[in-house]
Structure 1
Amino acid sequence: MRRLDVMFPSEGCECVAWLYLPEGTRPAPVVVMAHGLGGTREMRLDAFAQRFCEAGYACLVFDYRHFGGSEGEPRQLLDVTKQLQDWKAAIAFARMRADVDGSRLVIWGTSFGGGHVLTTAADNHQVTAVISQCPFTDGMASSFAVPPWTYIKVTARAMRDQLGAWLGAAPVTVALVGKPGATALMAAPDAESGYLQLVPKHSAATFPNFVAARFALQIIRYFPGHKTPRITCPVLFCICDPDTVAPTYTTLRHALRAPKGEIKCYPYGHFDIYVGEAFERVVHDQISFLRRTVPLN
C-alpha cells in the first residue's frame, strides 16, 4: 500500500489527511474516516486504515479544522457545525480524485465522529455505506451520564468561554479527559487512561488535553441518533457495552431505527475498542461488512 499526505479545503481552511491506496491499478472504493471528541488521525485511526487498505479499500483519514495538522484558529475549537462541514468537504474531495472510486464511498466515524457520520449519511444519499463505532447519538443521554457537580462546573466554564467569544477574548478551556470529579468533558473512571493511551508516545508530552469550553453548550443540543430513520444505505453500528461516554441503551434504541442497520455489540468499554483483542474483533467485523456491502468487484 501507499500512504500519501494530502490536503483539501473546507470553508477557507486546509484540512490535512492521509490517503491510503491499496495495491492494484483499478481505483478502489474509499473509506472516509475521522475521530471523535478532540481526537486526531494519529490516535489509532491509522491502525484501522491500514487494515482496510490491506483488504483492498482506499482510505482518506482527516483531521478536523482547529485540530491536529489542519488549519483553523483558535486551536482546539470543537464546533459541531464546522466538523459537519469538514465531513462534507472530505467527501467532495474523495469523490473528485481519480485514484479512488468515489462512486463507492463509505464514511467511518468513531465516538463523536460516529454521530457525525449518522448525520452526514442522513443528509447525503451519495454515501454507499456507514460504519459508526461506539457512536455518540444523544446529547441529553451523554450529559446525564456525567455526575451533576462535574456538569455544573463544566457548564459554568462554557458560559464564561461563550461570553468571552462574543467579546473577542481568548478561549476559556476545559479538559477533554480527567479523573473522576475533575472538571472535564469526560471524567468516567476509564476515561483518562483509556483516552490518553491512544495518543502516540512521540506526542504524549505535548498533546493538548483541552478544548474551548463553549462546546459544552452545544453537546446537549446535538442528537445525531434522531436521524437514523432517514439513512437509506447500510449502516454498521459497533456498540460497546458498557459505555461510559455514549450510553449503550440509548445508542441501541437509535440504531434499531435505521432501515438497513446492522448491530454488533462488544463487551468492552468505550476506550478499549481501539486496541488489543477488542480492536481485532471489531476491525474483523468491519472488514466483513465492507466486503458484503461494498464489494471490490
Structure 2
Amino acid sequence: MAAAIDEGVGKVRRPELLNKIDVEVGINDALLLTSEDGILTALDDRTLRVWLRRQTGKYWPSVCHTLESSPTALYYYEPSRRLFCGCDSGLVHEFIVADDFNKITLECTYFGHQIRIQAVYFSYRHELLLTACREKKLNCYSTNPIDENRQNARGSYTLASMGMSITMDETFRQCFIGDSTGNIHFLKLNANNRFEPNKPLSGHTGSVQNLLWDPDTKWLYSGSFDTAVIVWDLAAPQGVAVELNGHSDRLVGISYDNLRKLLLTCSADGHIGVWPMNVKRNETTIWLENDSCQICRMPFFWNIREMWTQKQIGLRQHHCRKCGRAVCDKCAQTRKALPLLGYETVQRICDDCIKTLRNDETVPLASFYDLRQGTIKMDYRQGKKVMMSIGTDRTIKMNFRRENIEFFGKDNVILRGWLYCPSSSSSSSSSQSAIVMTHGFSGLKEMGLDEFARTFCCDGNFYVLVYDHQTFGSSDGQPRHDINPYSQIDDYSYAMNYLENRLNNKNISIGIWGTSYSGGHVFVVGKREKRRIKCIVSQVPTISGKNNLARRPQWQKILAEDQHCLYENREYIPIVNQANENMDLSNSFYHFFVDKYNCNEWINHMTRRSIHLYSQYEPWKSLIDLSPIPLLMIVAKQDTITSTEDQIDAYEKQVLEPKRLVLVDGGHFSVYPNEQSFEIVVKEALDWFIKYLK
C-alpha cells in the first residue's frame, strides 16, 4: 500500500488503497514506474513483466519476457529506460524498455556469478553496474557500450558474508554493501574500478536488506532484520549514527521523500512508518555496563562477591534508554516513548531520568499505519505520492491520497469530509459517476466508512464523497451533537451540488448510500432528487421512528418528561447508556461506539430534542415514490435496532421495481468492517452501483 504524504510533522494521513494486482506466482522483486502508471515485476515463473494500467482502471501485462532462470533483483534507470535484472542462475541481464512499454530488448548479459543475485545497482554517472550474490562476492562491471568485454567483471571484492543490499555515493565513488550479519561494508571504488575497503559500519544485529543514500544530506539509511533503522551521518567530523525504533518486525523497504524530508519505512508485518527528517534527533545513547545497579547499587546476578557481602540475591540488568546506565528493574519502572532519541514506542527509563524528562521529549514524531497484510517489499515515488507494497499473499497493492474537503450545507453550515478520486477517472463528463455517503445516528465518518469508500473508489472507479453530519465530527453546527434528520436530509443535496461544481459536470451520475439512520434518509432524498439520483443503496435502514421508539423504554420516559417543550430542549443526555432497560440494545450500541470505534471526536451525548425529532421521523412513507430509482436494501436477519421485520415489511409493501433485497447474517452492526457480513454487503453495494451508475 502507499502513504498519503503531507508536509509537516504529524500531518501524514493514512495510506489509502488505490489498486491491486493479484499475481498467480511468487514475486521476487517489483518497482514502480515514474513516467507511467505501471509496475515492473520479477516473478518465480522465470518471467519479467511490465504491468500498465488500462482504461478500465485495472493493471494488465504489456510485456511478459521469459528468462533462463527466475529473476531475483531489479534496477530500472528510467531516463534512459535501462533495466537491469539479476537472476537465480547468477547472470545479470540488461534490457532496453520501449517507449510505449510494450517491448523489452536484451542489450547485454553480464557474467561473473555462479548463484543467485541478491542485489544490483546501476550508476549512470559512471556507467557502472554493481552486483552482489549469495557466494559472498561483489562485482563491478562497465556498462559503457563502447567498452570491449564489458560483460565480464572489471573489479571484484570478497565479502565476509552474503551481500544483501547495495547503494552508492556517486560523487565520491563510495559503495555501501549491507550483509547478512548486520555489517555495512564501506568500499572506495578507485579509478581502475578496484575496491579499497574502509572500516565497516557496525550497528545492526540482523541482516541489512535495505540501504539508501541521500546525496543532499550525505546520510546513509539502513534497515535490518533487527527491526531498527539507522541513520548514518557520514559528513559529520566524528560520524553520527541515530537509531530509529518503531517497528516490531524486520524492515523490508526504505524510501526517502527529499521534497518533504520524510523517511518512509515498511516492515514485514505490514506497518508503514513515516519519519520527519527535518527534526534534530540525538545520537542513540550507548549502553553502559556495570556489576551493580548504578542507582541503588544492588548487585546483578553475576556479581557473586557483592551478593555475598550484601547477603542479597542478584538482580537482572536493564538499561535506561535515556542515559544508558545499567539499572535494576526496581529503579526503572517507568515506560515512556523518547522520539528525540529515536524511540517511538515506550521504553524503560530510570528513576533519575524521569525526574528531568520534559513533556516535549515524549511527543511522537513519526506516524505508523497498518497495511493489514504481510509484506515482502515496498517502493515509493515522491512525485506521485504513490507507494507500492508486495504482500506475502502475492498481491501487489498501490495507494493514493484521500483529500480533505469542506462545503456549505443547510443554513451555510460548513460540512467537512473526504473526497476519493479514482486513479483512472474518465475525461468524458458524460461517463463520470460518483457516490455520496454519510453515517447513521451520531456516527462519524471514521467509524467504518473509509473501508466502504475505498472499495467503491478503487474497485468501481467512482468518485466518493464522505462527510460528517452537521454538529458532528469535523463538521460545524450548533448546538453540538444535535441529531436533526431533516437537516441531514437536506445536506445530501448540498453534497451533490458540491460534487457537480467540483467536477464541473452537471450531468454526473450520482448514487447515494446510507446506513441505519441515514439508510432512512436516502429514501427521502431519492424522492426529492429523482432527476439527479441514478440509484440508492440503503443498509439496515431506519423505517419508522415511532416503531423504534417502542423498543427504547428510556427514550419513551424522556419523551414523556419533555411534553411541555417538544423540539426545544437542548440539554444533553447519553447516547449509549449501559443502564438501558433493554440490555441487548445497549450492549450493541456500546460495542460499536465505545469498544470498536473509540474515536476521539465522538462524545457520548446528544440533545434531548434529538429523541423528539426521532419519534416523528417516518422515512418509509417516501418509499412508494422512489420508483423508477433502483433501490438495494440490505437487511440483517437479527436486527433489533431498526427491526428486521419492519425493514422487510416496508420493502415488500412499499418499494416498486427496480429493487433488490439482500438478507445477511447477524445484527444491526454486523454490516460494518471487520464484522461477519461486511464482505457480502460491500460487494453487493459495489455491484449495484456498477450496474446502475456506469
With normalisation by structure 2, the TM-score equals: 0.39
Following superposition, the deviation at residue 95 of structure 1 comes to 2.1
Following superposition, the deviation at residue 187 of structure 1 comes to 4.0
Q: For 1:121 and 1:24, how far apart are their aligned partners in 2?
A: 28
Does 1:6 find its partner at 2:402? no
Matched ranges for 1:171-186 at <5 A: 171-179=570-578, 181=580
Higher-helix-fraction structure: 1
Does 1:154 find its partner at 2:558? yes
Following superposition, the deviation at residue 58 of structure 1 comes to 1.1
Give the letter aligned to residue 142 of structure 1. Answer: N
- CA 1:198/1:104 → structure 2, altered by over 3 Å: closer, same or farther? farther
Following superposition, the deviation at residue 127 of structure 1 comes to 0.4
Residues 134-179 of structure 1: per-residue CA shift (max 9 Å, x gap): 1001112111122x3x2333325655875865xxxxx311211222
Following superposition, the deviation at residue 30 of structure 1 comes to 0.6
Does 1:24 find its partner at 2:440? no
The answer to which of 23-32 and 218-227 deviates more is 23-32
Does 1:282 find its partner at 2:681? yes
- CA 1:91/1:158 → structure 2, altered by over 3 Å: closer, same or farther? farther
Q: For 1:81 and 1:50, how far apart are their aligned partners in 2?
A: 28
Give the letter aligned to residue 63 of structure 1. Answer: D
Q: For 1:48 and 1:130, how far apart are their aligned partners in 2?
A: 15
Give the letter aligned to residue 119 of structure 1. Answer: V
Does 1:239 find its partner at 2:635? yes
1:253 to 640, 646, 649: 649
Aligned length: 284
SS in 1 for 2:488: helix
Q: Which residue of 1 aligns with 2:270?
A: none
Contact 2:434 / 2:510 at 8 angstroms: preserved in 1? yes
Contact 1:30 / 1:100 at 8 angstroms: preserved in 2? no
SS in 1 for 2:578: coil
Contact 1:174 / 1:213 at 8 angstroms: preserved in 2? yes
Q: Which residue of 1 aligns with 2:197?
A: none
SS in 1 for 2:575: strand
Q: For 2:572 and 2:566, how far apart are their aligned partners in 1?
A: 11
What 5-or-longer segments of structure 1 have no aligned partner?
Answer: 166-170
1:270 to 647, 668, 676: 668
Q: Which residue of 1 aligns with 2:479?
A: 74
- CA 1:198/1:131 → structure 2, altered by over 3 Å: closer, same or farther? farther
Q: Provide the alpha-carbon RMSD of the alignment.
A: 2.3
What 5-or-longer segments of structure 2 have no aligned partner?
Answer: 1-399
With normalisation by structure 1, the TM-score equals: 0.88
Q: Which residue of 1 aligns with 2:607?
A: 212
Q: For 1:142 and 1:25, how far apart are their aligned partners in 2?
A: 42
Following superposition, the deviation at residue 182 of structure 1 comes to 6.0
Larger RCO: 1 or 2 (CA < 8 Å, sep 6+): 1
Contact 1:242 / 1:248 at 8 angstroms: preserved in 2? yes
Q: Which residue of 2 aligns with 1:38?
A: 442
- CA 1:177/1:226 → structure 2, altered by over 3 Å: closer, same or farther? same
Does 1:111 find its partner at 2:516? yes
Following superposition, the deviation at residue 222 of structure 1 comes to 0.9
Q: For 2:562 and 2:485, how far apart are their aligned partners in 1?
A: 15
Q: Which residue of 2 aligns with 1:88?
A: 493
Contact 1:118 / 1:227 at 8 angstroms: preserved in 2? yes
Give the letter aligned to residue 155 of structure 1. Answer: L
Contact 2:585 / 2:640 at 8 angstroms: preserved in 1? no
Residues 3-41 of structure 1: per-residue CA shift (max 9 Å, x gap): 111111112111001000011141641110000000111
Does 1:121 find its partner at 2:526? yes
Higher-strand-fraction structure: 2
Give the letter aligned to residue 633 of structure 2. Answer: F
Residues 200-252 of structure 1: per-residue CA shift (max 9 Å, x gap): x4x34x63011101111111211111111111210110111111111111111
Q: For 2:582 and 2:643, how far apart are their aligned partners in 1?
A: 20
Contact 2:568 / 2:609 at 8 angstroms: preserved in 1? no
Identity %: 24
Does 1:49 find its partner at 2:453? yes
Contact 2:419 / 2:465 at 8 angstroms: preserved in 1? yes
- CA 1:157/1:90 → structure 2, altered by over 3 Å: closer, same or farther? farther
Q: Which residue of 2 aligns with 1:133?
A: 539
SS in 2 for 1:74: coil
Matched ranges for 1:218-233 at <5 A: 218-231=613-626, 232-233=628-629
Q: For 2:690 and 2:544, how far apart are their aligned partners in 1?
A: 30
Following superposition, the deviation at residue 63 of structure 1 comes to 0.8
Q: For 1:95 and 1:246, how far apart are their aligned partners in 2?
A: 33
